[in-house]
Structure 1
Amino acid sequence: MSALAPTASNPGALPLGTVKERHLKVPVVLALATVLLAALFFFAPRDGISTFRLGDASSAIALPNVELPTATTSWLLVVLLLALTAWAAWDAWSYRRPPLWLVIVFAVLGVFAFLVWAAAGGLVPVTGLLFGAISLSVPLVFGALGGVIGERVGVVNVAIEGQLLLGAFSAALLSSVTGNPFIGLIGAMIGGVLVAFVLAAFAIKYLVDQVIVGVVLNVLVTGLTGFLYGALLVPNENELNQPVRFTRLEIPLLSDIPIIGPVLFNQTFLVYLMYITVAVVAWGLYRTRWGLRLRAVGEHPQAADTVGIKVNMSRFWNVSLAGAIAGVGGAYFTLVSVPQFGKEMTAGLGFIALAAVIFGRWDPIRAALAALLFGFATNLQNLLTVLGTPIPSEFMLMLPYVVTIIAVAGFAGQIRGPAAAGKPYIKG
């Protein structure tokens, strides 16, 4: 619908030719989610009491458990979800984009409603659920940050999976040999850089399609680490595949905060490093000369070249930096999560990290939040299995990937990435 030209009596009107757009995707997705939840509660009703444990054994402040009637609470939450959906639909119909806070509140209430239904007659350890979500998100956050840097500088980093996997292998090997997890962490960064180096060489120097190179590298690293695992680590397991892992570091006072204290401030070194890395990358990308040049190269390399920025050299070094950051994510698998390296242990998380980049709209903080969402979905899958919900176990295994598809297709929409991402630059 075209707006009228601005006049003295109507100064707020849009210029002639401006077309208003109704943003219907968000209300449609919210309506679909509400209908699915309502159908679940109707066709698979559960009764009883849902108990939520807010306290933690290590907490200085004891909090009582919260007990809620399952059926009543579930349907009350559905009513709230309907109200939020109607609000989003009204905004869309009025040519306004539904606010981000509304989507966040809807997501929190939707997850809470599902947990109330799933926990009928059982107990949900809230602190444990959130703690596990943070821990499982660590490799996704580091992988997503590597993806953001790579694409912002103009190189699509499909090889995140390979960087995570080689990082995990290198960390396990060096930590086992030296008995020092920090040496293993450095090895993981080197492993990520090696994969990124090959990606940069073929994509930037030899102008090979970046997506194809990334896919091939993932397959190559999977085969290489699988071969080295069988030929090197299995026969020498005690010497080469028993890494010394990072232990938890409790921050005094902060770790005593109810609920969030044990979740955020009783973690391992890699989790604290994740906090710092997200903040530094977000600040550097928008507040420093490095970030300005990086974004210029990814958006308009010709213009960057005319002001003296060496486009391909900038891409090469920033892709290498992205590989080092992703490699840190790989170190989580063998220096925190699992006490030894295993074949294909990353299990496709590099691709979920790439989805987090898109869902987060190539922004470090948003991508990190998207990675936290996917980590929460993974941990929720484990909790639902323990609670014994009537949902088939096969669907439980699908849950993190279903959440990924819904997030990218339902909320990311047709968003525009960096203009020069995936496009090789030929000077002149």
Structure 2
Amino acid sequence: MPHIRRLLSPLTAVATYTRWVHLVLGGVVFMPYLMATAVLASLILAGGGGPGAGSPDSALAVGLVPALLLIAATAWLPGVRTMSTHLVRALVTGALAAEEVAEARTRRSRMRTALWLVLHLSAGFAVCLATMLGLTQSAVLAATAVVPDPAGLMEGSLYPLGGSPPAPAERIAASFAGAALLLAVIYTVAGLGALMSRLAPVLLGPSAAERLAAAQQRVETLAERNRLARELHDSIGHALSVVTLQAGTAARVIDTDPAFTRSALEAIAEQARTATAELDHVLGLLRDEGPTTAPQRDLAHLERLIEATRAIGAEVSADIEGDPAAVPGVVSRETYRICQEGLTNVLRHAGPVPVALRLRVGSGGLTVEIANPAPAAAVAARVGGRGLRGMRERLRLLGGTLDAGAEDGHWRLRAAISWKDAQ
């Protein structure tokens, strides 16, 4: 039973008939090439004279090879490979489903596209002929059983049972022959469609070099997206955390401490301006507009960050040793972001609590430590957050390390970066 089902599956499979349409379309496209070269061949043959010169059959035979060469040359036109790939995806079920559509850029890719066009269009032309002749002939044979006088119907057709009026047995046999011819056409087209489905990924799919280039492009795109996500998270996230805390505190003391409320509103306005500049910078990167005017904050801005955090109400004790100006630019910028994210996490999860920030700058590296009292609920909320993942990604790119976790009732974050060996 499974064998019979497998044998009959081409008759009922949708793929058989969509691939049939795909092949017929190839035959339709083949006709203008063939007709143009055949007309040119007939003019040349007619001018040469001789028996059979200029006949349609000889013109078609002579024009076939130039037509195939023109079809192959079409592969060098822009967009041909992309269009062929989309057509295969739409009609040749299962082929190129997971492949990326890319225009041919190398000579080898264009050669593969040319071979595909020649196979598709020539096979499509053969299928068009088989469809017209096979379906017509099968219909004539099937109608023999019911037409009273099939002589006119059989005229010009390939009737296998002779030219005399058919006997009843011959009528029945002709009907079976028509059904067999129809099945032969369907199975032939199904087999040819399956073959084209196997050839499509080989000839239209990306080569190994193209796959490698696409994978490299995806890696670079993903890395850039992650970098922009970190920038947005650290800069905009910090500003929003400050705005939230300042606004909440100002709302509670607006009647009892107008001076603090005014100071909080000024801090909110400053953070909003900073966030707008940071957002403009990131959007400029997304739009590939080149360098923007937004400043790249580094350790030179650390004191301002500490003062802004203190203005919210957090008691920040800063201990800085060494010369932050001696830190390489990229390390300085990433270290500033780590300090910013560390202080933001304190404000977000623990509120305006005492914070100790220690920065040690040496001749070939630096360490940063941020510690604050942290209840169990705040510790649980901070484990596995996006901020920690972003800091680890920053440090991994620089060859640094990050340790973060609860220790003696405090949350401690330690980061270490060395650049001496990298120079």
TM-score interval w.r.t. the shorter chain?
under 0.3
Name the TM-score, length of structure 1 as normaliser.
Answer: 0.22
Name the TM-score, length of structure 2 as normaliser.
Answer: 0.22
Question: Which protein shows a greater Rg?
Answer: 2
Which of the pair is proportionally richer in strand? 2
